[in-house]
Amino acid sequence: MAGNDDEYIYDEASGEWLPASEVAAKAAAAAAVHDSAGNVLADGDAVTLIKDLKVKGAGQTLKQGTVIRSIRLTDNPEEIDCRHDTIKGLVLRTEFVRKKS
């Protein structure tokens, strides 16, 4: 054989046989956590709120433009764990944040 050791997996969505490495790469990209603009988020990133958010149970509103530092990713790719000076145990949806550059 000519050194082609790659396994192939049938992709039902496209109806094609794809290399296993390509399927794994697509799965990894889909599992990444993205902000509202499509930027990939990672533990420790800083994010900015893109709209005012009323915080349930805290009786206050976080204003648009508020910077949240040192986020932590959760098991849910649509939520991030955050710390804010006045709110403990804050969880934000990724659709309301943008990665700070």
Could you tell me the pTM of the whole model?
0.69
Does 19 map to a domain? Answer: no
Alpha-carbon span 27 to 39, nearest angstrom: 17
Total domain count, the chain? 1
Report DSSP state, residue 40: B
Does 33 map to a domain? Answer: no
Does 85 map to a domain? Answer: yes
Does 6 map to a domain? Answer: no
Alpha-carbon span 28 to 52, nearest angstrom: 32
Residues 6+ apart with CB under 8 A from 51: 64, 96
pLDDT of residue 65: 95
Lowest mean pLDDT among 20-29, 40-49, 53-62, 72-81: 20-29
Which has the closest alpha carbon to 33: 77, 80, 99? 77
> Which has more confidence, 15 or 51?
51
pLDDT of residue 96: 96
pLDDT of residue 97: 96
**In the chain, pLDDT over 90 holds for what percent of residues?**
50
Structural domain harbouring 51: 47-99
Phi, psi dihedrals of residue 33, rounded to the nearest 5°: -95, 130
Does 4 map to a domain? Answer: no
